Structure 1
Amino acid sequence: MTAAYDEAYRANAGLDGKIRRRVARLLHRRPLARAPERPMLSMSFDDAPLTAAVTGAQILEARGLRGTFYVSAGLAGAEIPMGRCAEPADYRRLAEAGHEIGCHTFSHLDCGRASGAEAEAEVARNADLLAQWAQKPVESFAYPYGDVAPGPKAALARRYATLRGLHHGMIEKGSDLNQAPAVGIEGEKGESTARYWLAKARAKTAWLILYTHDVRPDPSPWGCTPQALAGILDDALAEGFQVMTVGEAARTLGVTA
C-alpha cells in the first residue's frame, strides 16, 4: 500500500498535465448560488493519519469545533509518508464525536489519471465501508493529490455536495463546488499562508477550507504542528469566523448532495 501511494504521489507536472488541469477547471462547473452571510471556515484532514484523528480532533474538540476527515478506506492502518493512518475504530470515534467523515477514494486514486468509471468504482467501494464506520451518508469529497480530469469530475459531481481540490482560493458566490479551492497549512509557511487567506476570507465574507495531513510536533512536509493548528483556529474564532465541517457549511449555503 505504501509503495503504491509513494508512486502515485508524483503528480503529472508535464505540459499535458497542465493543460488537462486547466481544461478540468473550465468544465462541469457547479457554481455556488448563495454567498455566505458571515466568514466561514472548515478545517479538513486528508488521508486521516492517526495523529490527525487523535491530536487534530482533540484540538478542535477543546474549542467546541469539529472537522472533516477525508478518508481512503484502503489506507486504514497503513504506513504512508505522513505516518500511520487511523483505523476503523478511530473513524467511528470521530463520527460519534460529531466530526465529518468524507470520501477520498478507496485507494487514494489519482483522479487526474483515471476515467470516470474508475473513479466511480473507487468511491462506491469506499462508500460501503465509510457508511459502516460513520453510520451516516457521506456528502463531501476531496480529490487525492488535488488532481482531476474532466471524466471523474463529471462522474463524481452526481454523488457529493462538494468536491474539494488543492488550488488556493476561497469559496464565494459563483465558485465551482465541483472543484472547490482550499489552502494548506502544511510546511514552514503553512501558518502564515493560512492567516493570509483568513484575512482575505474575512474581508470578503467568504468560506475558506483549510487542510493538512498529520498533526504532530515533528510533522511531515504535508503536516502541521499542534501549535500551528491551535493558533489558526483561535485566530479564526477571535475574528468572528463560523467554524463548521465542510458538510455543515455546504448545507448552511443551501448545497446538498
Structure 2
Amino acid sequence: MIKPYTPDVSLAGKLRRRFARMTHKRPARLDLARPIVSFTFDDIPASAAHAGAEALEQHGACGTFYVCAGLFGKEGHMGRFADAAEIGDLILRGHEVAGHTLNHVDCHRTAPAALDVDLDANDAALGALGAASLHFAYPYGEVSPRSKKQLARRYASLRGVHKGTVRNGDDLNQLPGVGIEGPDGETIARAWIDRAVAEKAWLILYTHDVREAPSPWGCTPEVLDRLVGHALAAGCEVRTVSEVLSA
C-alpha cells in the first residue's frame, strides 16, 4: 500500500516555492479569443481514468492526465492506480497523457542525476504507450529554482499547485493550478471558473481520484460533471494543456 507523503510545509519550504516562481521563467504566448478551462488529473487513480474521463467525454471534452508509470496497478490511499492498459485506453480516446515522474518523487528533494533517471524511465514507459509526454506537473507542487531549471529543459510546460489563472506572458515553467478537492472544492473551482471568464484567461483545474467517497485530494463524479457543465455554460472552451499551448 502506497502511503501519503508529506511535502515540506515549513516557512522555509513556502518561501522556496515562492522564490522559485521568480526564477527561470519562460513566458507563455497566448492570444485567447475565449476563456479556457483545462481539467487535469494527477497520479491517476483508476477512478480518474474511468469516472474522470467519462465526466469530460459526456460533454465532448478531453482532459490532461499527469501519470506516474511507477504507480501502475498499485494500491494507494486514493484507491488503485490505473495500469498501463487503462492509460493506453485514455490515449486512444483522445485524452492527453503527460509526465509526473516515475515514482511520484519530490523534485526538490531528489538529486539532479537521480531525477533525470526517474524522468527518463517515466517518459520511456509513457512513450511505449503512445504518449509524447510534452508537459509535466510537479508532484506535491514541490519545486525549487534548481529543479525548475532542470525540468524546463525537458518539457513544454510545468504545472504547480499555486492558485491563479494564466494569461499572456505568464510563466510556462510554473503554471498555476486550482484543486478540485476537499469539501469546498466545487465552490472554489466554480469561483475560479467565473474569474477566468471575467479575465478571459486560461484556468487549469486539477484533482486526483474521482469516486463517490473521494479522498481529501479528489472529488465525486457529480462534482466534476457540474464543473465541466458550468465552464461550458459560462462560455469557456474546455481544452487539454497541449491543445491550449499548441494553438
Q: Could you tell me the TM-score, scaled by structure 1's length? A: 0.93
- The SS at the match of 1:2 is coil
Question: What is the alpha-carbon root mean square deviation over aligned residues?
Answer: 1.2
Q: Is the 8 A contact 1:142 1:165 kept in 2?
A: yes
Distance 1:36 1:120 in 2: 34
Task: Write the distance in 1 (CA, Å) between the matches of 2:217 and 2:13.
Answer: 22
What is aligned with 2:17? 21
Is 1:64 the counterpart of 2:60 in the alignment? yes
Alpha-carbon deviation of 1:151?
1.4
Amino acid at match of 1:15: L
Gaps of at least 5 residues in structure 2 are none
Match 1:85 to one of 76, 81, 99:
81
Work out whether 1:74 is the aligned partner of 2:65: no
Structure 1 position 229, deviation (Å): 0.2
Determine the C-alpha separation between the residues in 2 that align with 1:25 and 1:119: 20
Structure 1 portions without partners, runs of 5+: 253-257
How is 1:149-188 mapped onto 2 (pairs within 5 angstroms)?
A: 149-188=144-183
Q: TM-score, normalised by structure 2?
A: 0.97
Q: 1:20 offset after TM fit, Å?
A: 1.6
1:120 Cα deviation from its structure 2 partner: 2.1
Q: Which amino acid aligns with 2:220?
A: T
User: In structure 2, how many angstroms separate the alpha carbons of the residues matched to 1:236 and 1:175?
Assistant: 22
Aligned length: 247
| 1:86-165 superposed matches below 5 A | 86-133=82-129, 135-165=130-160
Shift of 1:79: 1.2
Q: For 1:220-239, what aligned pairs fall within 5 Å after superposition? A: 220-239=215-234
- In the alignment, the residues of structure 1 paired with residue 145 and residue 117 of structure 2 have an alpha-carbon distance, to the nearest angstrom, of 16
Match of 2:238 in 1: 243
Deviates more, 1:170-179 or 1:16-25: 16-25
Identity %, equivalent residues: 49
Distance 1:169 1:179 in 2: 11
The answer as to whether partners of 2:98 and 2:132 remain within 8 angstroms in 1 is no
Once residues 37 and 57 of structure 1 are traced to their aligned partners in structure 2, the CA distance between those partners, rounded to angstroms, is 26
